[in-house]
Structure 1
């Protein structure tokens, strides 16, 4: 019996965590590019409460990190962050469609929104907004929704925060990235020689 107990403890001993030297794990906190020929559009919503405006932004980049477009806007009273996020996705998809971009990956840093976009039937409360997104999705050759870590969505987050922080309530869409973030965008750019 003592031998069995010792064996049980030996087999169930908690192993100390190993130090990871895997380069894939090291790169998880960096912006990940889309596949070749696809534009990745990172979205962020700066929602504070149901009575205030929300700052929204998106930034679209290609497989080497070059910024095609970025946009920001202020949206009115959303009852919760989830609704603000869905409204932001609709705004983003409408803009990309109007720009003639047909192959897109939309990256959102709010897990539940990604789940709702992938399985809308499980989110009946938001059926109207999800139906608008489904209708927009049909206008793209290729459209995927991915979850982005907050730490890798810093550019989109900073643009969205600037709406409320700096009082930039006027909607705009621009070529390239914002000048005040060029250095950070350049650091995230994937170089072809790497």
Structure 2
């Protein structure tokens, strides 16, 4: 990754398991879900530092969502908006949505989603370093890198939890999985007190 040049061009192919970031870079895993019945979309993101500690996570519900791709792009747009923060200068985004990642590379081929794509592509220039990774759909399992973010997003459509929020640290019901991710990545797990000093 090399400055804003990593924001230009195709989306990178991400790892099959959660990997720790280089020093000073945070990783934002983005999850999404969609219900064809209610036309509601669920979005989530989880931000972790190089030590595997969860700094923040968020969940959002969107109504009148016409398709899964539209839900995916709403999630990605919301995640990039949330990461525009003085402390978030170097961000690696990971998503399991193949179509939305393709759309970032060839936005002119997705005219119906022009507004959302422009939002994402314009915001990436606000970062010192920004990269988008496509992580395989196989990651959406308890052993995969995007499972926690996807589960939070799915809670909107599957469990009918439309409340939107942003919170420090990670959700308690996914704490074990998040810790497994960090340990498998060879991260040094810090206490929440030390993590807050580094965030």
- TM-score class, shorter: 0.7 to 0.9
Which of structure 1's runs of 4+ aligned residues deviate more than 4 A?
none
RMSD of the TM alignment (CA)?
1.9
Q: Give 1:23's aligned residue.
A: none
Q: Give 1:105's aligned residue.
A: 92
The unaligned stretches of length 5 or more in structure 2 are 1-14, 189-199
Q: 1:35 to 1:50 in 2, by over 3 A?
A: farther
Of 155, 167, 174, which aligns to 2:160?
167
What do residues 157-181 of structure 1 show as CA deviations (whole Å, max 9, x unaligned)? 1111222333321111111110111
Of 31, 47, 56, which aligns to 1:44?
31
Matched, 1:156 2:149: yes
Q: 1:168 to 1:118 in 2, by over 3 A?
A: same
TM-score (normalizing by structure 1): 0.77
1:56: Cα distance to partner?
1.2
User: Is the deviation greater in 136-145 or in 112-121?
Assistant: 112-121
Of 55, 58, 62, which aligns to 2:42?
55
TM-score (normalizing by structure 2): 0.76
The unaligned stretches of length 5 or more in structure 1 are 1-27
